Amino acid sequence: MSKTEYDVDICIIGAGAGGLSIASGAAQLGRSVVLYEAEEMGGDCLNYGCVPSKALIAAGKHAHAFSTGGPFGIAPTKAKVDFGQIKTHIKGVIETIAPVDSQERFEGLGCTVIRERASFIDANTVGSETAITRAKRIVIATGSRAAAPPIPGLKDTPYYTNEDIFTIDELPKHLLIIGSGPIGLELGQAFNRLGSKVEIIDIAEPLDRSEPEHAEVLIDALKDEGIIFHVPVNTQLIRKTSAKPPSRKTGVAIDLENGSTLEGSHLLIAAGRRPAIESLNLDAAGIVTGRGGIVTDKTLRTSNKRGYAVGDVSGRGGLTHAAGYHASVIIKNFYFVPFFKANAETTAMPAAVYTQPELAFIGLSEKTARGKYADVRAVHFEFAENDRAIAERSTKGEVKIIARKNGLILGASIVGEGAGEIIHLISMAMANKMKIIHLTKMISPYPTRSEAVKRAASSWYTEAVFSPKTRKLASIMARFH
């Protein structure tokens, strides 16, 4: 059978967040686009990651509210959880968002969408089962997959990842989770609130790249809800066990190096991600890879001058909004700023852990900043002093801003209710190279949690504003009024 041949401006492999954003932008600019996707349109985020996990988290939050109303004069009661209806809720959320990422929408924009697995034939040609595409530029946006750690026995033991946990038949009675990163913590808290017993195991301390005092607030909150942590600890063996209850085919047991054994009904592996590059035949295109994925320069170009990589596969972090940022860099460089290339490297990429309390951060940690600069200061403002947090009886956490002596913001961390929303203020400031004084000038509606950012920034100047020298100046000026 002869294959259909295309000769286009841009060929994109992967219809996840990065690939779809580039396809949309290029098509609306009148460029010819071929978009390959062998699996679900929308990629990991829509179908297996961000969207279903946040839907599950929302269900868990509602269930948790039934037992926490005492301080507000509402008698606590046990939530009645219908896991089948929760799955229907998750499916409904995905289906509501899916049309935005659908094949029909992108074909309507003018893209040629080919629902087949693609790989390189040579440096400027991509092929699939029924098509051959030659392109001026080729963008790889194939994302990443859940990684399975090299633990003895794991390959012979049934387990779930984020790619299939949302289709699970029943609410796990006793969920064991390998991995204490964002995925493990978010799903662990959600399932715990819905009624599962949850134990989390990791070789490292949870959130070991975050501000340690903020990670502690979050982990303590999860422990208070009943989640059991086994960290840091080595896992020696994972194995199947007899059915518990008898209606299940198998259970799971984890033997730890300290001699203890954990037994559960289900196992979730949340131990990182690996770039999805195995089937791309990158050698044929002369594209070099490294430990984190495809090697790219600051404009996201690969070792093949026609090839680019965005999102998880580029080795620059596994965040949906990072893929979106990469897409904007690609569109700018391809069609708007040929002589002054936009740069994909940034210190202002925010991230958030959507537990309760949330943990959000951006830029350098205090430890990293102090290792790089000699004039670093950090300022804090606790939610225990925020009137909105007090009214809602949700005062755990604080805002922390790290800056240089001249006020240039290097990073920030927020732990507390709504931290993922509040971090926007500091993200905007850093993206526009604003200094900490600019955060003090905003007017916050009262009472809001976001006011804590202004209060933290204002504390940068407390010593100077209320020093003996300024008190004396105020005394002098008062004589003239």
- CATH code: domain of residue 165: 3.50.50.60
Q: Say what the pLDDT of residue 385 is.
A: 98
Judge if 24 and 135 occupy the same domain: yes
What pLDDT, on the 0 to 100 scale, is given for residue 474?
65
What pLDDT sits at residue 481?
66
Residue 440 has pLDDT above 60, yes or no: yes
* Residue, of 406 and 466, whose pLDDT is higher: 406
At residue 431 the predicted structure's pLDDT band, cuts being 50, 70 and 90, is very high
First to last CA, the chain: 92
Q: Could you give the CA distance from residue 272 to residue 151 in angstroms, rounded to a whole number? A: 14
In a domain, 62, yes or no: no
For the purposes of burial, counting CB atoms within 10 Å of the CB of 432, is it exposed (0-12), middle (13-18) or buried (19 or more)? exposed
404 and 292 belong to one structural domain? no
* In-domain check, residue 116: yes
Average pLDDT of span 248-264? 89
Q: What are the angstrom distances between the C-alpha of 117 and each of 14, 39, 131, 142, 309? A: 9, 8, 10, 10, 17
Burial of 326 (0-12, 13-18, 19+ CB in 10 A): buried
User: Quick check: is 32 in a domain?
Assistant: yes
Residues 161 and 128 in one domain: no
Tally Cβ neighbours within 10 Å of residue 401: 27
- Give the list of residues 6+ apart from residue 295 with CB closer than 8 angstroms, or none: 288, 289, 302, 303, 315
Task: Look at residue 317 in the predicted model and tell me its pLDDT.
Answer: 75
Domain match, 8 and 115 both: yes
More confident residue, 465 or 215: 215
Indicate whether 58 belongs to any domain.
no
> For residue range 283-336, what is the model confidence (pLDDT) as tens digits?
999 999 998 899 999 999 999 999 999 999 998 878 999 999 999 999 999 999
Q: What is the pLDDT of residue 478?
A: 72
Per-residue confidence band for 340, with pLDDT thresholds at 50, 70 and 90: confident
What is the structure's pLDDT at 419?
98
Residues 116 and 260 in one domain: no
What pLDDT score does 473 carry?
66
pLDDT category of residue 464 using cuts at 50, 70 and 90 = confident
Higher pLDDT, 340 or 33: 33
For the stretch 14-25, pLDDT in tens is 999 999 999 999
Judgement on whether residues 241 and 324 belong to the same structural domain of the protein: no
DSSP code string of 119-155: EEEETTEEE-SSEEEEEEEEEE---EEE-----TTGG
Distances (CA, A) of 133 to 11, 115, 217, 229: 7, 14, 52, 50
- Segment 376-420, tens digit of pLDDT: 999 999 999 999 999 999 999 999 999 999 999 999 999 999 999
Domain membership of residue 192 (yes or no) is yes
- CATH code, 389: 3.30.390.30
Residues 185 and 283 in one domain: no
For range 359-368, the mean pLDDT: 98
Q: How far apart are CA 158 and CA 238, in angstroms?
A: 10
Q: How far apart are CA 64 and CA 372, in angstroms?
A: 43
Say if residue 472's pLDDT is above 80.
no
Q: Which of 75-89, 130-144, 316-330 has the lowest mean pLDDT?
A: 316-330
Does residue 375 share a domain with residue 264?
no
My answer on whether 389 and 259 are in the same domain is no
Checking if the pLDDT of 480 tops 80, the result is: no
- What value does the mean pLDDT take over residues 237-257? 79
The answer to whether position 55 is within a domain reads: no
CA distance 467 to 237: 61
When the pLDDT of each residue in the chain is averaged and rounded to a whole number, the result is 94
Q: Is the pLDDT of residue 449 over 70?
A: yes
pLDDT for 243 beyond 70: no
Q: Are residues 21 and 132 in the same domain?
A: yes
Give the 3-state secondary structure of 409-455.
EEEEEEEECCHHHHHHHHHHHHHCCCEHHHHHCCCCCCCCCCHHHHH
Into how many domains does the chain fold?
3
pTM of structure = 0.94
Residue 481 lies in a domain: no
Residue 170's domain spans which residues? 154-271
Q: Are residues 227 and 140 in the same domain?
A: no
Using a pLDDT cut of 70, give the percent of the chain over it.
Answer: 96
In a domain, 430, yes or no: yes
Nearest-angstrom CA–CA distance, 33 and 335:
14
Same domain, 160 and 204: yes
